[in-house]
Amino acid sequence: MIYRRQRTQYVFAVFLVIVAVVNVLFYFILTRPSQTEYANLQSETAELQKQIKNSQKYYTGRAIVADKLESFDKDKNALLMMHLVQRNQGYSEIQGKLNAILLKSGVKYTSIRYNLNPDAQAGLNPVSIVVPVEGNYTNVVNFIRELEDSDTFFLITAINLERTTLQEPGKPVALANAAAANGAVSLSLTLETFFYQ
């Protein structure tokens, strides 16, 4: 009877071990995919967080650009009004500014030629201006400096320079040669400015 009871307990113990092993195997079989899926979800979450940070940086950069674009029109108008001339009053205002610069620098000029390009580029009409001037070297340099320092935007696109003799009426040629020795120059400046509409 004891033997039979031991045998029953042994069979029962073996049965319990088999059930335990099967349960452990089922546990691993059932939880392994969920653990793998959990690990995949964690890695995907980390990737999504990186993308969110990158998107936030991108959005912040775009917001800064948008803020700058909002002030662009105001800045553009301020630049136009400060350094360019409106087309309606363009020639008279440019003529006045150039005459003031010519008088201040002490150079002589014969005529000023203007050429307006009627095709507007970015809302601006380029105006080509040819100014032939004569004077001593210092006065010519002062004229160019005054153009560069002017509130109106003048772009020097070409300079044709030659040595000259400044012969004043009533003075002999020998004195004119002395003026040439002092650095008298004659040049033709091609300038460009812009009219806004």
84 or 112, higher pLDDT: 112
Question: Are both 77 and 95 inside the same structural domain?
Answer: no
Token pair for 112: 């000023």
Q: How confident is residue 87, by pLDDT bands cut at 50, 70 and 90?
A: low
Domain end position, chosen among 17, 49, 83:
83
- Phi/psi for 164 (5° steps) reads -140, 170
98 and 79, same domain (yes or no) = no
Is the pLDDT higher at 169 or at 145?
145
**Residue 72 confidence (pLDDT):** 74
pLDDT in tens, 8-37: 888 888 889 999 998 888 888 877 777 788
Joined together, the tokens standing for residue 72 give 């662009």
What is the pairing mode between strands 124-136 and 184-196?
Answer: antiparallel
Indicate whether 70 and 138 sit together in one domain: no
pLDDT of 46 reads 92
Question: Do 78 and 103 share a domain, yes or no?
Answer: no
Instruction: Tell me: pLDDT of 177 over 70.
Output: no
